[in-house]
Amino acid sequence: MAVKIRLARAGAKKNPYYHVVAADSESRRDGKFIEAIGAYDPVAHPEKKIEFNEERLNYWLSVGAQPTVTVKGLMAKYKKAAAKA
């Protein structure tokens, strides 16, 4: 079973909200997942809100889970914002 760290869409029409999840690579986008490890709110003002449970994220990366391109970008933004604060 290959594990991916990816976004699962939630929220209402025209008001997206995403959960960052560890899921089997063959499961559907909004389907069954193994664990929720963060959240992303692209509509939050004034800044887009990104949250991660760093302990669980590091665990999944250490056991070989592959983040998607989008999640890699979110992780970079999160680390940059954390370094600023």
pTM to 2 decimal places: 0.88
Greater model confidence, 8 or 85: 8
Q: Name the phi and psi angles at 74, rounded to 5.
A: -65, -40
The domain of 44 spans 3-84
pLDDT at 45: 78
Higher pLDDT, 14 or 83: 14
Cβ neighbourhood burial of 50 (10 Å; 0-12, 13-18, 19+): buried
Q: Within a 10 A sphere around the Cβ of 37, how many other Cβ atoms? A: 23
Q: What is the CATH number of the domain that holds 59?
A: 3.30.1320.10
Among candidates 56, 18, 24, which has minimal Cα distance to 37? 56
Query: What is the tally of structural domains in the chain?
Result: 1
CA geometry: angle at 71 spanning 67 and 74, to 5°? 140
pLDDT at 47 over 80: no
